[in-house]
């Protein structure tokens, strides 16, 4: 049986060796449910940022996600959250809506990233180097941070 991936800095360190300075992790939530918006987050963490227990938001309790959400917002170089509503999802499909939400999140980042680590199989229409990473939210701290922000934000939307 294959060992489960471990969340860490390996992907970010590889991007830095190729010259990247501002690496943004991207993830989305809401692709599975048949209602509500799809929400994406983009996060640039400082080099070596330590956030105890950070991993894929689906593996965390609601309490731990809330704690990490606050810590990520406090420590991030930059972060942004964007959503695409159900009407747009119906019009353009969930895959395209997810990519649109991720692009909208990246557009809001200041400073702008020069490298994107994106959870999943797709990259987005953005002018910088990118790497799509299947299960990236379980292997990259930057993507995991985006996963947490997006999940907490969407959960709060659905409660309201």
Q: Per-residue pLDDT tens for 10-61? A: 999 999 999 999 999 999 998 766 678 999 999 999 998 999 999 999 999 9
Residue 143, both tokens: 């993507």
Quick count: other Cβ atoms within 10 Å of Cβ 142?
31
Residues 6+ apart with CB under 8 A from 69: 148, 149, 152
* Per-residue model confidence (pLDDT) at position 6: 84
83's torsion region: left (phi>0), alpha (psi -120 to 50) or beta? beta
pLDDT of residue 34: 62
pLDDT at 158 (0 to 100): 84
What pLDDT was estimated at residue 45? Answer: 98
Contact 34, 157 (CB under 8 A): no
Q: With 60 as the cut, is the pLDDT of residue 1 above it?
A: no
Residue 119's CB is within 10 A of a number of other CB atoms, namely 29
Q: What is the pLDDT of residue 33?
A: 61
What percent of the chain is modeled with pLDDT above 90? 88
Is 106's pLDDT higher than 90? yes
Query: For the chain, how far is it from start to end, CA to CA, in angstroms?
Result: 42
- Displacement of CA 57 from its chain's centroid (Å): 10
In terms of pLDDT, which residue wins out, 4 or 142?
Answer: 142
- Cα separation, 141 vs 73, in Å, equals 14
pLDDT at 94: 93
CA–CA distance, 2 with 157 (Å, rounded to integer): 36
Are the C-beta atoms of 139 and 10 separated by less than 8 Å?
Answer: yes
- φ/ψ region of 77 (left if φ > 0, alpha if ψ in -120 to 50, else beta) reads alpha
Whether pLDDT at 113 is above 60: yes
Nearest to 111 by CA among 24, 15, 11: 24
Per-residue pLDDT band for 117 (boundaries 50, 70, 90) equals very high
């Amino acid at each position: 049986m294959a060992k489960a991936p471990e969340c860490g800095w390996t992907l970010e360190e590889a991007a830095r060796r190729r010259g990247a300075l501002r690496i943004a992790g991207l993830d989305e939530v809401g692709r599975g449910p048949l209602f509500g918006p799809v929400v994406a987050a983009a996060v640039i963490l400082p080099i070596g940022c330590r956030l105890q227990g950070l991993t894929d938001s689906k593996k965390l309790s609601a309490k731990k996600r809330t704690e990490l959400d606050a810590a990520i917002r406090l420590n991030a170089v930059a972060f942004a959250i964007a959503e695409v509503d159900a009407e747009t999802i119906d019009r353009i499909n969930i895959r395209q809506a997810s990519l649109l939400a991720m692009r909208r999140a990246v557009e809001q980042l200041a400073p702008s990233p020069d490298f994107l680590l994106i959870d999943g199989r797709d990259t987005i229409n953005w002018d910088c180097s990118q790497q799509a990473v299947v299960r990236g939210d379980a292997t990259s701290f930057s993507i995991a941070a985006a996963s947490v922000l997006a999940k907490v934000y969407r959960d709060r939307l659905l409660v309201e």
